[in-house]
Chains A and B, each alone.
Chain A
Amino acid sequence: MVINYGSFYDFPHLFDQLMDDLHDPQLTAPRRATYPPLYISEDDTHVFVRALLPGAAMEDVELIIEDNTLVLRGELKPIQGKYHQQERPTGAFQRLVKINVPIHKDGITATMKSGMLFVQLPKSTAMQPRTIHIQPR
């Protein structure tokens, strides 16, 4: 996944995709092609990566930052007992998120709350927007 500053050019396409998804019964289906689903956003100072990982404990998830790629991997163990119905995913998962903004690696924080992983990646100060004051001549 590439964070593209020109991503607004994709907006018409993304909007169409959203409309298609809304009419797609598969959207609410339990298993999706890529697991876990991600929500990637940014503001002036941070890049945010959220992942839905219900049932995963902190020790089940591994988070690595390598060059400009965030690696998220882990395993969801099946439940003991006799299954009468199984819709929740199990097994190993891995996702790579390419971050094409320089990141201050020591400042990365990750938290888990009610099944959601939230990673905050601070942008290098050189990349943060700066206000330039206009001087009168």
Chain B
Amino acid sequence: MQQMPKRMGKRPRVQPPADFVERADGFYLYLDMPGVDKEKLLLDIENDKLSVHAKSNFGLTAGERVHSMEFGEVEYYARFEVSELVDKEKVSAKFENGVLTIYLPKREEVPPKRIQIEVL
């Protein structure tokens, strides 16, 4: 059993909203993680568990007087189970515009072998 990562300070821990989309070449997982630095994003794949962990930073300064606060700095954490259909060796990820995209290619299926039956 994988352990929950240690909390990063006192930020609330949230699960980023996720889209899971299938296309001909495989599966794509999209996670909204605004305010995260690419360098500080942790993405682990262990056995059939995929985990994502990061801390957001919106450049909020202590000198600002807040009028309305509909979001704040958080700690993102998510865990997913990777299907048998996925080729784990070829999983790749990119981070763009605050969205983490994880590409999970489908395993190439070995075509079933036909056995010729000889009539004796």
Contact = CB atoms under 8 A, between A and B. Distances in A.
**For chain A, which range describes its interface: under 10, 10 to 19, 20 to 34, or 35 or more residues?**
35 or more
B80 to A, nearest CB: 10
A81 B15 CA distance: 23
A116 interface: yes
Nearest to A46: B64
Interface residues of B, number: 37
Contact of A52 (B15, B38, B71): B71
Contacts of A118: 59
Given A3-B67, A42-B67, A55-B32, A83 B99 contact: no
Contacts, number: 116
A131 interface: no
Contacts of A81: 21-23, 28
A85 B34 contact: no
B68 A54 contact: no
Contacts of B32: 54-55, 88, 115
A42 B18 CA distance: 33
A87 B64 contact: no
A55 B98 contact: yes
A68 interface: no
A39 B97 contact: no
B67 A37 contact: no
A62 B34 CA distance: 19
A88 B101 CA distance: 13
A28 interface: yes
Contact of B68 (A39, A43, A53, A115): A39
A7 B95 CA distance: 37
Contacts of B15: 28
B60 interface: yes
Contact of B99 (A28, A40, A54, A82): A54
Interface in B58-73: 58-60, 63-72
Contacts of B33: 54, 115
Interface of A: 1, 3-4, 7, 22, 28, 30-32, 34, 37-43, 48, 50, 52-57, 79-89, 112, 114-116, 118
12 contacts: A41-B64, A43-B65, A54-B98, A55-B30, A79-B21, A81-B22, A83-B19, A83-B20, A85-B19, A86-B19, A114-B37, A114-B98
